[in-house]
Chains A and B, each alone.
Chain A
Amino acid sequence: MTNSALIALAATILFDAFVSGTPLLLATVGEIVSERAGVMNLGIEGMMLVGAMGGFAVWFHTGNLFFGLLIGMIFGGLLALLHGCITIALRADQVVSGLAVTFLGTGLSSILGAPYVGKRVPVPLNITVPLLKHVELQQVLLVIFGLVFALLVWYYVNRTRPVLNLRSVGEYPSAADSLGLNIQRIRFTYVVFGGLMSGLGGAVMSLITDPGWVDGKTSGLGWIAIGLVIFANWDPVRGMVVSYFFGLLRRLPLDLQNPALPLISTANNPSVGRFMDMLPYLATIFVLILGSREALRKRLGAPAALGVPYVRGEHS
């Protein structure tokens, strides 16, 4: 294999990592914002699933990719709204409500998505880019969107005024309340934002990164996102970087099957695949272990009021 071919191969693998990391990035960054406001939403998996199913269904009927993404996003947002009603307005346990979001999303997407299993998928527009040869235009746009999105959220979370409100609501709600901030409304806003992003992440999966709908499409990606939020230490840029890394891990079993790869190709050894598929999940645990040591050293941590419903006059 020539050097230039090897470089092209590496570039392709890297690009694929960015592409398959982007749904994860959207969900992770959305959840970071939601948790910053003090609401943990364990329902990412469910929101991504309804987003993926809804987006695919709408695209299937209208043929409009943008419309599909939009509806998928809204589906995710609606489930998050439900989570908000239960946990913010009714002050129920966030862990259990989040699990319920996942069950509901899994069930709904399975029921409503049944007619779309194995249906035709969007035909990508190919363009030519140096090094990568043929890539899909949608994927290029998606990667750019993801990058810009994460940086914007990072800027918003660290450098702008409204976000002081966001952070105070997540860190010290009673102080925020005494400043006249409407805690419930702020929390609702960011929880729904998180849901919209998870829904979009799901829709992106079923329409752009690996087109098509099957039951349980996201295969645990939503749960990985929750782990990444912790590892990213609630920082959108760290969340972005680690999402791309996990994109690489998710693609790895496929990439390594390429017989053109020198030395490490698994093309002749299919049973390695199951262990390769474990990598993202094991890596999530591994990065959490790494992150915990860092958190202990630097005294970093979750937003102080994460998971605690706010009740005026009640201190926990």
Chain B
Amino acid sequence: MNLPGTHYRLRIESRSNLPAWVGAVSAIIGVFLALVVGGFMLRAAGATDPIGTYIEIFKEGFGTPADWAAGLHALFTGTDCPKGMQCFGPFSDTLVKASPIMLTGLACVIAFRMKLWNIGADGQMFLGAWAATAVAVFLLPKTTPRPVMLAAMAVAGILAGMAYGVIPGFLKARLNINEIVTTLMLNYVAYLWVEYFVVVGPWSLGDFESTGRFPTSATWPRLTDYVKQIPVAAGLTAHPGIFLGIAAALLLTWILYRSRWGYEIRVIGNNPKAARYAGIDVARNIILVMGLSGALAGLAGMNEVAAQRELNGRFQQGLGFTGVIVAWLARLNPIAAIFVAILFGALLVGTQLIQPQGISSMLQGVILFVVVGTELLFHYQIKLEKAESTAPSAAEASHD
């Protein structure tokens, strides 16, 4: 009888229960690994000092401990920041950047929960921004009180984004048309739509490619507006938009985990067949969830124009795509999305000034890769085991 040599082989087994902390750990490992991989890529792309680049990004995004200490001291003593805007400036910029990402991230969270791949948050955001601008500049008088104006803009943004999300939702629900492709195509249509209005069309101020400054009532108040009361706030552009994101995250948490609708969404996401057998109307839910997802992205658009105080030809593309990564890194948890969005806000702010351009997009890609790639480790156990060729040895045993 031939003894089989010591063969080992890898076996991959499903892991059934995942402890809750695993998600957070995998996200952190994912970001860390991505930074390492991204560092090598930066090196290859000609950056001489990748670690220095990261430190720079971090400083630009969050500020240094010394900045914070000086800022806090100034805050409590009611004095100016000794370093100009540097005390809370970086973090304030990060919050400004994080608020639209938080909303587009949440838009993706709710859609992805149902395995609806809404990649169109970007377009929905553009349309939301467009509708909010229409209300602010062309529909309501300049003298409208600020709360009324902002609320009307938010409603317009939400409705426009919702309508733009419902179109692919309807096509998916009724005709089974792939929502990835339709939402993506609608992104480009939305970019061109906004471009038409502000660059060559009726809203353009000639060479400025902009609607021009909104009336004050149509803009978010900024921290710097309160510089008389809080001297350290000088120059800080942070605005209340971030609270819209946080409120939306809380609302989504309630919907997902406390409401009947959320239960249906989760069942459909886990097992659409079972959902159908349980009598859940999948088609209706597809349309509703795409509507909610689009509404959140549309609100992100309103938030952005109210913060930038104009709609111009440079309105940033890609924040909806960053939302995809935020949602995935947050493992589709709305509360986690708040923190991930702030992290990505810092990444975007930190890479804004750094050459070459494209670092943030590359890092986002690497992070997403590493996060989906390492997911296997948490869903499956990898075991090294002795390969015992049972069938032949049993046959040989009976032969002997």
Interface residues of A (CB under 8 A from B): 42, 46, 82, 85-86, 90-93, 95-97, 99-112, 114, 215, 219-220, 223-224, 226-227, 230, 270-271, 273-275, 277-278, 281-282, 284-285, 288-289, 292-293, 295-296, 311, 314
B373 in contact (CB, < 8 A): yes
Chain A: which residue is nearest B377 at the CB level? A90
B345-360 near A? 1/0 per residue, CB < 8 Å: 0000000000111111
Chain A: which residue is nearest B38 at the CB level? A107
- With beta carbons under 8 angstroms apart, the residue of B14, B357, B365 that contacts A103 is B365
Complex contact A224–B185 (CB within 8 A): yes
Complex contact A92–B373 (CB within 8 A): yes
Complex contact B364–A284 (CB within 8 A): no
Complex contact A275–B184 (CB within 8 A): no
Chain B: which residue is nearest A86 at the CB level? B373
Complex contact A106–B358 (CB within 8 A): yes
SS class of chain B's interface: helix, strand, loop or mixed?
Answer: helix
Complex contact B366–A104 (CB within 8 A): yes
For chain B, the count of residues having a C-beta within 8 Å of the partner chain is 50
Complex contact B177–A292 (CB within 8 A): yes
Interface residues of B (CB under 8 A from A): 12, 14, 41, 45, 117, 119, 171, 175-178, 180-182, 184-189, 192-193, 195-196, 199-201, 321, 324-325, 328, 355-366, 368-369, 372-373, 375-376, 380
Complex contact A275–B196 (CB within 8 A): yes
Q: Which residues from chain B contact A90 at a C-beta distance below 8 Å? A: 372-373, 375-376
- Given that A104-B366, A284-B185 are contacting pairs, would A110 and B361 also be in contact in the complex, using a CB cutoff of 8 Å? yes
Excluding A103-B362, A111-B45, 14 further A-B contacts by CB distance (< 8 Å) are A90-B372, A96-B324, A99-B119, A103-B365, A104-B362, A110-B358, A114-B356, A114-B358, A220-B184, A274-B192, A275-B192, A281-B189, A296-B175, A296-B176
Expressed in whole angstroms, the Cα–Cα distance for A270 and B200 within the complex equals: 8
Expressed in whole angstroms, the Cα–Cα distance for A70 and B181 within the complex equals: 29
Complex contact B373–A285 (CB within 8 A): no
B363: min CB distance to chain A, Å: 7
Complex contact B117–A107 (CB within 8 A): no
Q: Which residues from chain A contact B362 at a C-beta distance below 8 Å? A: 103-104, 106-108, 110-111
Complex contact B201–A271 (CB within 8 A): yes
Chain B: which residue is nearest A92 at the CB level? B372
Complex contact B369–A82 (CB within 8 A): yes
Q: Which residues from chain B contact A95 at a C-beta distance below 8 Å? A: 117, 180
Q: Which residues from chain B contact A114 at a C-beta distance below 8 Å? A: 355-358
- With beta carbons under 8 angstroms apart, the residue of A92, A220, A226, A270 that contacts B375 is A92
Chain B: which residue is nearest A107 at the CB level? B362
Q: Which residues from chain A contact B119 at a C-beta distance below 8 Å? A: 99
Complex contact B357–A102 (CB within 8 A): no
Complex contact A271–B196 (CB within 8 A): yes
- Given that A110-B361, A278-B192 are contacting pairs, would A285 and B368 also be in contact in the complex, using a CB cutoff of 8 Å? no
Complex contact B365–A285 (CB within 8 A): no
Q: Which residues from chain B contact A295 at a C-beta distance below 8 Å? A: 176
Expressed in whole angstroms, the Cα–Cα distance for A112 and B44 within the complex equals: 9
- Given that A106-B358, A220-B188, A271-B201 are contacting pairs, would A101 and B365 also be in contact in the complex, using a CB cutoff of 8 Å? yes
Complex contact A288–B181 (CB within 8 A): yes
Can you list 22 A-B pairs with a CB-CB distance of less than 8 A? A86-B369, A86-B373, A93-B375, A96-B328, A99-B119, A99-B324, A103-B321, A106-B358, A108-B45, A112-B45, A220-B184, A220-B185, A224-B185, A226-B180, A230-B181, A271-B196, A273-B200, A274-B193, A275-B192, A282-B189, A292-B176, A296-B175
